[in-house]
Amino acid sequence: MPSIVRRSSIQKRKLGRSNLEVSALGFGCMGLSFGFGPATEKKEAIKVIRAAYDAGVTFFDTAETYGPFTNEELVGEALAPVRDKVVIATKFGFKNGIPGQGTDSKPGRIRAVADAALNRLNTEVIDLFYQHRVDPSIPIEDVAGTVKDLIQEGKIKHFGMSEATASDIRRAHAVQLVTALQSEYSLWWREPEKEILSTLEELGIGFVSFSPLGKGFLTGAISDKTEFDKTDFRNILPRFSAQAREANQALVEALRQIAKRKNATKAQITLAWLLAQKPWIIPIPGTTKLHHLEENLGGASVELTADDLKAIHDAISPIDVQGDRYPAQLQSLLNR
């Protein structure tokens, strides 16, 4: 398949002080199987993943919960021909691989998930193994110790965490070096700036930004009139209520004006802004469409000057984003 973006246009970055080098933009595979409506037809999904690789992406993110289980199988099949040239990240941490059933990071469960993921991904080693969410019932030291054993056994290369607090990160890192933290970070969710980014910089841990495009909202493609598929989880998110979407258009309008000045799209400005924050931040936008993939990867080529970044800050900072990330019943689980 021909490249849709020049392969050399996507530079590499290292996750913190580790030796794990990946493309500056990764690819979040979740939406191909889970979360945003019906799963993409397998042949088309494989086409999108391979197009991302052909365009220079070497970092692919999946998890047992996506499907559940089917996304890992998809990623394994799509990347099999280039397995030695890519970094695959997957996750453990939910009971039976289903978020709604709660967290489960018992040592035996972590081992079972690792073995199952190795099989589904059709690989001999998992490059990056994240704890999907911290399990309050299991000491984080025990979790890190279990992953450390898996690393020593050659099943895992690197340990990651997701949506963890600074305290949890420090405690885990003292047992087994944490290579990367994956959490939501974008122009409409800047919570990591309060404490997390400085902690990661101090410890030499990389940051992987999920939902860098605000689950699609920051692209400008979603309005208060947008109707999501009944299986799309955005239907239950307060930030995606019709009222919140209408109120949050101010953010999209600010991005539109900046994008116009830079001859770029809103998605590209959003991704370029994240890349400009720290040299060890890797956004992982996902998509099911080739033209959106090309657009997103173009964000890696947008250079934002200090004046550009100030203009973005000045335009965005006064805007009070409306709506919580998650409904109240999930806050304790997903928004620690």
What does pTM read for this prediction?
Answer: 0.96
pLDDT in tens, 257-297: 999 999 999 999 999 999 999 999 999 999 999 999 999 99
Helices 70-79 and 107-120, axial angle in degrees (round to 10): 40
Which 3-state string (H, E, C) describes 243-277? HHHHHCHHHHHHHHHHHHHHCCCHHHHHHHHHHHH
**36 falls within a domain:** yes
Catalytic-labelled residue, pool 53, 66, 130, 185: 66
Q: Is residue 259 part of a domain?
A: no
Is residue 321 situated within a structural domain?
A: no
Asked if the structure places residue 96 within a domain, the reply is yes
Q: Is residue 183 part of a domain?
A: yes
Positions in the chain whose pLDDT score sits under 50: 1-6, 8, 335-336
Residue 308 lies in a domain: no
Question: How far is residue 61's CA from residue 69's CA, in Å, rounded to a whole number?
Answer: 13
The verdict on whether 185 is a catalytic residue reads: no
Q: What's the domain range around 157?
A: 7-220+272-302
Is residue 228, in this structure, part of any structural domain at all? no
pLDDT digits (tens, 9 = 90+) for 129-169: 999 999 999 999 999 999 999 999 999 999 999 999 999 99
315: in domain: no
Residue the block writes with tokens 């191909």: 32
Q: Total domain count for the chain?
A: 1
CATH number for the domain spanning 113: value is 3.20.20.100
